[in-house]
Amino acid sequence: MSRQLISFFRLALPQTAAILLAGALVASCATSTEAPQAQSGLSPAVAADVNIERIVLQAYRAIGDRHLYEPNFRALSAETYRGFAGADAALSLETTDVAFSVKRDGREVMTRPTPADNSDGRAWGGMLAELFAGSMASSPTLQDSDRQALIRQAMAATTKQLDRNSRYADPDEARDNRFQRDGGGGIGITVERTEEKRTMIRAVQDGSPSAKAGLQPGDQILAVNGEPMIDRPLADVVHQLRGTVGTPVTLKVLRTAQGRELTFGMKRGRIIPTTVVYERRGDVALITLSGFNTATTDKLRTAIEKARAEIGPSIAGLIIDMRGNRGGLLDQAQAVAEVFIGDGTIFSTQGRHPDSRRTYKSSNPRKIDDLPVVVLMNGGSASAAEIVAAALQDRGRAVVVGSTSYGKGTVQTVVRLANEGELILTWSRLQAPSGYTWNELGVLPSICTAKVADVGQFSTTLVDANQTSLMRWHALRNPTSQEVTDLRKICPPGDNSPERDIEIASRLLRDSTLYAHALQVGTYQAARQ
């Protein structure tokens, strides 16, 4: 069974990085079609007998059926084998037009005829499975190697040959990915590892078991279920705090503000990472979307309702801050856009597999159409964030402000493998309502904040200056690498999230004439296509 994925990479987590316990908070998400896995660690049955041959068969079938481009399995198989056998320098692979031969120390181990069809993933996967089995039987080095490491090396070599967004996630990473997508058993705290190697609670999720038990930000975790956590890696703490919903867990913490140790008992609950945060900025509602998981759309509607109630009739509008938002669930990207777009096209997809060719439309009577909206983007905004930004800009529902986005305009499908890992394959391209694709190119903001020298002097003149660039952007269908490079220089993608972006967005929302003009410029360019 597979899932659609539109996140573009897994964030590396430094020692000081924050992690939502119940699973590492990572940037990869997919449409949920399976029950979330609450337990950590490989299941005993899988750990006892990881069948590498079965994994390669699964992977090659999926690549043949689903990858965006028709693969050349002859070239791919050679790289997959070399990745698999790399641990044993005595093993080598010789290829001809008709056969693959494995040798060890120059002596032939086995030879298998190559399939006649270079696009037949099942046949090439079957041949590779036989070569793997023969190599294992002849190599003490491979026999002594960790099976998961061999799979990881083989799959990394495979996906490297496909495209920049296809990849393999080993069981631990895949479990974290599934948690980020669907939630899982945990206690609902965010922790960080300090330079002094202390594990500190940075945030406590509202309504979570940890909040009900009385844990607080600033508490240092000393032990979990009686096992000391001092000087332990952050991943070990995560491992101890994850588990099946309803099972008990005990934390011993040092409450530094009081200088005393406290013990808290609780039961794990179903935790879905928080991706929506609302903050009032006077008469403007600032709503940060950090990702797109199963709870995002509901939380967004709740945040908007809270803003309406708190600010009242004087509310000037919404700022949807998606700077640094790496992506998320495809269906949530559609649902978030539908919050603001009541009917018509949101985006479309095109790929090799018949199921990958679709047009996603809205028919949502619950749309919020009475509030002005500004969307903030930067070079770290990708995938689901780009879907929403492109749709709202094209459909005249929001003004996009900031810098050019990352440019990840493809959809991935997630294949659950027999070892509980995941094969993440690119299978379609995304298109905005006006028909352009932002893959590699990114979404160009209507207002490039780097060009606003003085927020107080910001006017329609600056908005008009971007019209020609938007026209070129939307006119392109298959831009060359040089065209992409040249266009991205217009408003270079930035990694920062400066306060000035929010100031400019707030000024737009408070000036109805300026907002309407900026909205019209972006919509006009889309309508011309």
Cα–Cα distances (Å) from 225 to 19, 138, 208, in that order, read: 19, 45, 18
168 in helix, strand or coil? strand
Burial (CB count <10 Å: 0-12, 13-18, 19+), residue 161: middle
Task: Tell me which of 182, 394, 405, 434 is the catalytic residue.
Answer: 394
- Annotate 55-80 with b (16+ C-beta within 10 A) or e (fewer): bbbbbbbbbbbbbbeebebbebbbbb
Catalytic residue among 383, 403, 405, 506: 383
Do the Cβ atoms of 274 and 217 come closer than 8 Å?
Answer: no
DSSP-derived secondary structure letter, 162: T
Assess contact for 450 and 379: CB atoms under 8 A: no
Q: Can you tell me the distance from the alpha carbon of 289 to that of 529, in angstroms, rounded to the nearest whole number?
A: 30
d(CA 63, CA 67): 5
Q: Are 419 and 163 in contact (CB under 8 A)?
A: no
Phi-psi region of 106 (alpha: psi -120 to 50; beta: other; left: phi over 0): left
Q: Has 383 been annotated as catalytic?
A: yes
Helix (H) or strand (E) holding 473: helix 467-475
Spell 428-461 as b/e; 16+ CB within 10 A means b: bbbbbbbebbbbbbbbbbbbbbbebeeeeebeee
Mark whether 117 is an active-site residue. Answer: no
Rounded Cα–Cα distance for residues 117 and 112 (Å): 15
Pseudo-torsion of CA 220, 224, 225, 230, nearest 10°?
-90
Q: What CA–CA distance (Å, rounded) separates 372 from 507?
A: 12
Name the active-site residue from 2, 356, 408, 446: 408
Cα distance between the two ends of the chain: 38
Is 283 an annotated catalytic residue?
A: no
- Side-chain-facing half-sphere of 511: CA atoms under 13 Å: 19
Q: What are the start-end ranges of the H helices in 18-120?
A: 44-48, 52-66, 73-84
What are the structure tokens assigned to 169, written together?
A: 């996630």
Kindly state the tokens that stand for 401.
């402000």
Alpha helix ranges (H) inside 5-120:
44-48, 52-66, 73-84
- The catalytic site residues sit at 383, 394, 408
